[in-house]
Structure 1
């Protein structure tokens, strides 16, 4: 031992050791009070430390899962909001079909209204798809389906489009793969709706109305025919026949034809009377001209050969010659004539065009020196009309003058006649089901028309654009081709939502994504067919809306059930995490009151230790008093 070492007495050393021990205890309690934990490391208590750490780690893992559950709840809520919006659009679409049912007439206004409603229906359908695609949340969209898609092949569409008069062929609302044989048939013979013809005859004052012909292979159309009457009784009438913007105008019963009688030279003793009959105005077939000589009437009615020329003067000359011959053969120098008069052509203008004829008495004395002459004319009793259009349509009818005079202005107006064409486009699927649209069908009953036509099967809706101007070419060649639908993509689970409920991933729930788009794998809500032309087209739209409503409700119920489960587990996880945290705290946290009391006690011990050490030191100092 070094001579510099200080030697403490046993009493002082014991007091010092006790004081050091008390200080350590004070530091330990102060640390507990500062941290709030009685176990701050494995050295403080390995059993409690590691048990508490396990509980706190598990509580932390569950807290993270709770956050994931919250995001999953938001994903489901996003889908639910999308379904709610889509249900609102479906209700709007149902309102459109109700309005369409209320406008089922075959008049132009009702057809236009239904077409407009069909266009609005299609816009709503497009918006449903957009809402479904916009309902995703953080990369998951529960409304865009399982990924399975079916569509027609490009090759088969090209083959169908190669048929004359067909284009833009496709299959929409594909529910299952199928093959459709598309065929064009028919003769192209043209006819008309008999009821429309009868109504037009009664309303317009015409008879024997007929629509016939054969559809042109280069300029055909399915357009209706309109017949418009204008004018008034006793005046010129005008009739306009129109098809697809191509019009023909016919004028008749104009009352402008004339037949006049006048004396050129008065008869007197020694002078023979000379009179003339003059034909004037516009002449039509059926116009009647009468010349009277001494009360004897001579009548001629214009026929086709008299009105072949478009030059009015030539028509008048033809009538003058025919009436002249009749008079000449009766009272002039013609065969079998009495010879009392001489008949000669009248050319007052000396231009070579006959305007009428003269009648000269053969007697210059006595009572025969003069005679009575007169001339009258009447309109044709009827007029036969034949009109041809570039489409191949021929419209023929007879205008009845008496019927028109009886109707007066009531005959004015327009009659529409539905045109029928013997052309049919049909599709037959693999099950042997055939659906067709024909130009011979009545309007509102599957009538073929220009533009888009739709044929609805259980497996999908066949659509194509029709061009009536050249469709007959395909019918004449009896052309057909197959339109084939196949599966394009496989089903997948990329939008399915899996939610983990515990830290070791042994408890989960999977929320399957649903296809709430309008395709055949989803809501099966197709575009409006044929512009709602037929009641059956509206019926199909209503049926698809009913299916969509049912699908939306079942999907909403499934999402709601999953949402309730996840929300329940989220609440459980939150509460259970609190239990774990509380248990962990029980193992390591210090009792502040107890530790405070301990600290007070140790501080007292420190003071007592200090005093004891001081007393022991005083015992050493007493030795100094001996010196």
Structure 2
């Protein structure tokens, strides 16, 4: 074309080289600006896609590592729960140590063990609450697999339908079973022979006996206490107590008396008349004497005389008795045959005695009276429970003890009533009211029957348990699985993208249920040593379970933590590999850029020189 600009060959060559230099410079400047020598597939498809694959794998591992971190925290939460529960188990073991040191059968020791049993139950409940609070992010590695057992409602209702039986349940269930529960016995009441002997020695009584039959409406298992009060030579009293009932008997009070008064003096033409009067508290065995002209007439108060509770009737009974003694003598002849005794109808606590004649010395007589306490006193007390306590108080023996005879003695009451539970293997556990305390003694309230498959618990009402015994009441209590095992609490941890490498941390059960630590509520308020032994064995087993669970979680924690650390390190390897494929060596690129810039400068200079030949033509004009 005529208008085309024609470049010389040298100029074209220098221009091409300069363009190539500019392109190379631009590329290096872009690499230095981005830090990557491969920014797109156009820059190097092999390196670009290889780096992209490595980065995607690193990203996947980074996501997995987040899951591993959460898994570590979940395991740590379970481990902390185990540590805290072990501390509670140690506290419970301390309570048992105190219970062992208070194994006496006295009221104070029994009350102490009951208090310790209540504290033990409180710790058991706290263990379950602590285990329930040891979850993290929706997983609880110490709550178990959810499997549970319970007594069927139908069998519980049947057992509770037995008279005097209520609140039947089965705790600490390890496997399904059926328990036969029956009530038996005659209800006969006796007292512990050793306690009776000790009471007789300490309280100055003899012939002490506890007897009777348990009431069908107001029976109880309460022990008997006998308390003696008073001082030598003064009124003595005994207080006999059973449960909420007490009876107080006073004796040797020295208030009983027989007195005489001259009603009509004996003078010539008038015969002497005297009145004999009985007063004071009359007890069986008290003696009352009237001496007439040297002849003594003595009447001893009988059990029938003192049956009445009011003093007036007792006084009247003695007056009648002594009157009859004297009246019989007047009727039988002899020195008093001409005397006259009068107590019309026996309605008064006094009677009269008249001289035989109306003239001479026969009109007068001598009369003396005296009364004395009984040497012994028989006591028999009945309680609404059906218990009868009887004994004899000996005045000489009691006063020989002095004030040392004062105090309280307790007699353990034994009742022939028993509750027996038997499992399917034929193993039987019996709690009897006839047993000694500390040896499976039946008690009012909750009673526990321990088996390898669970503990049968039921409340016994002493007030009417004899009705169940008389009817031979029996029922079966059956336990069954209520919820199946599951894996909702198991923790699965994925270690690689295709899940070909993973671990599952199975949840363990450190609740107190029979499927876990198998720590039961305190049995029978630690009444027996065997109840404490059972609790001690449970705590020993629980400690072993906790140690095994802790070791398992520790092992799994180490595995997950190791894989988490490996993932972090390997993720760096992948990212370094990707960077090596795409990142630019800035030192090398900088040197190249400097060289290109120099080359670019030289290219411009060369192009300028080539252009000078063209410019020399202008000098011709």
Please confirm whether the aligned pair reaches a TM-score higher than 0.5, indicating the same fold: yes
Aligned counterpart for 2:480 among listed residues 479, 482, 486: 486
Q: CA deviation at 1:274?
A: 4.7
Q: Which runs of 4+ in 1 moved over 6 A?
A: 268-271
RMSD after superposition: 2.2
Q: CA deviation at 1:481?
A: 1.0
Q: 1:20-59 counterparts in 2 under 5 A? A: 20-59=19-58
Q: CA deviation at 1:433?
A: 0.4
Q: 1:158-557 counterparts in 2 under 5 A? A: 158-264=157-263, 274-330=273-329, 332=330, 334-339=331-336, 341-345=338-342, 353=348, 355-360=350-355, 362=357, 364-365=359-360, 371-557=365-551
Question: Is the Cα–Cα contact under 8 Å of residues 183 and 427 in structure 1 kept in the other structure?
Answer: yes
Of 203-212 and 135-144, the range deviating more from structure 2: 203-212
Deviations 1:493-539 (A, max 9, x none): 11111222222221112211100111000001111111000000000
Structure 1: any 5+ residue segments left out of the alignment? none
Question: Is the Cα–Cα contact under 8 Å of residues 340 and 362 in structure 1 kept in the other structure?
Answer: no
Question: Is the Cα–Cα contact under 8 Å of residues 274 and 361 in structure 1 kept in the other structure?
Answer: no
Q: CA deviation at 1:316?
A: 2.8
Instruction: Assess, with a 3 A threshold, how the Cα gap between structure 1 residues 32 and 310 changes in structure 2: closer, same or farther.
Output: closer
Question: Is the Cα–Cα contact under 8 Å of residues 181 and 428 in structure 1 kept in the other structure?
Answer: yes
Q: In 2, distance between residues paired with 1:278 and 1:67?
A: 108
**TM-score when normalising by structure 2:** 0.95
Q: Which residue of 2 aligns with 1:599?
A: 593
Question: Is the Cα–Cα contact under 8 Å of residues 159 and 475 in structure 2 kept in the other structure?
Answer: yes
Q: In 1, distance between residues paired with 2:67 and 2:347?
A: 110
Q: In 2, distance between residues paired with 1:439 and 1:226?
A: 18
Deviations 1:550-590 (A, max 9, x none): 00001111111111122222222222222222222222211
Q: CA deviation at 1:417?
A: 1.5
Q: In 2, distance between residues paired with 1:409 and 1:359?
A: 47
Q: In 1, distance between residues paired with 2:323 and 2:134?
A: 93
Q: Which residue of 1 aligns with 2:607?
A: 613
Instruction: Assess, with a 3 A threshold, how the Cα gap between structure 1 residues 547 and 22 changes in structure 2: closer, same or farther.
Output: same
Question: Is the Cα–Cα contact under 8 Å of residues 309 and 315 in structure 1 kept in the other structure?
Answer: yes
Instruction: Assess, with a 3 A threshold, how the Cα gap between structure 1 residues 317 and 182 changes in structure 2: closer, same or farther.
Output: closer
Of 101-110 and 293-302, the range deviating more from structure 2: 293-302
Question: Is the Cα–Cα contact under 8 Å of residues 191 and 210 in structure 2 kept in the other structure?
Answer: yes
Find the residue that maps to 2:36 and give its secondary structure: coil
Deviations 1:137-159 (A, max 9, x none): 11111100122111111111111
Q: In 2, distance between residues paired with 1:180 and 1:292?
A: 76
Q: Which residue of 1 aligns with 2:104?
A: 105
Q: In 2, distance between residues paired with 1:578 and 1:9?
A: 57
Q: Which residue of 2 aligns with 1:572?
A: 566
Aligned counterpart for 1:583 among listed residues 577, 582, 597: 577
Question: Is the Cα–Cα contact under 8 Å of residues 519 and 526 in structure 1 kept in the other structure?
Answer: yes
Deviations 1:33-67 (A, max 9, x none): 11111111111111222222222222222222222
Q: In 1, distance between residues paired with 2:278 and 2:388?
A: 34
Whether 1:146 aligns to 2:140 is no
Question: Is the Cα–Cα contact under 8 Å of residues 272 and 362 in structure 1 kept in the other structure?
Answer: yes
Q: In 2, distance between residues paired with 1:485 and 1:359?
A: 88
Of 297-306 and 532-541, the range deviating more from structure 2: 297-306
Instruction: Assess, with a 3 A threshold, how the Cα gap between structure 1 residues 537 and 494 changes in structure 2: closer, same or farther.
Output: same
Q: In 2, distance between residues paired with 1:339 and 1:497?
A: 113
Q: CA deviation at 1:382?
A: 2.2
Question: Is the Cα–Cα contact under 8 Å of residues 218 and 384 in structure 2 kept in the other structure?
Answer: yes
Question: Is the Cα–Cα contact under 8 Å of residues 346 and 354 in structure 1 kept in the other structure?
Answer: no
Whether 1:625 aligns to 2:619 is yes
Q: In 2, distance between residues paired with 1:228 and 1:375?
A: 35
Instruction: Assess, with a 3 A threshold, how the Cα gap between structure 1 residues 486 and 312 changes in structure 2: closer, same or farther.
Output: closer
Find the residue that maps to 2:248 and give its secondary structure: strand
Q: CA deviation at 1:265?
A: 5.5
Structure 2: any 5+ residue segments left out of the alignment? none
Question: Is the Cα–Cα contact under 8 Å of residues 324 and 343 in structure 1 kept in the other structure?
Answer: no
Q: In 1, distance between residues paired with 2:219 and 2:278?
A: 44
**TM-score when normalising by structure 1:** 0.94
Instruction: Assess, with a 3 A threshold, how the Cα gap between structure 1 residues 123 and 68 changes in structure 2: closer, same or farther.
Output: same
Question: Is the Cα–Cα contact under 8 Å of residues 103 and 110 in structure 1 kept in the other structure?
Answer: yes
Find the residue that maps to 1:164 and give its secondary structure: coil
Of 32-41 and 540-549, the range deviating more from structure 2: 32-41
Of 34-43 and 521-530, the range deviating more from structure 2: 34-43
Of 265-274 and 157-166, the range deviating more from structure 2: 265-274
Instruction: Assess, with a 3 A threshold, how the Cα gap between structure 1 residues 507 and 359 changes in structure 2: closer, same or farther.
Output: same
Deviations 1:331-358 (A, max 9, x none): x4x12333465133379xx997351322
- Residue correspondences, number: 621
Deviations 1:336-386 (A, max 9, x none): 333465133379xx99735132242548546x6755331111112222222
Find the residue that maps to 1:182 and give its secondary structure: strand
Q: Which residue of 2 aligns with 1:83?
A: 82
Find the residue that maps to 1:395 and give its secondary structure: strand
Of 402-411 and 164-173, the range deviating more from structure 2: 402-411
Q: In 2, distance between residues paired with 1:478 and 1:13?
A: 126
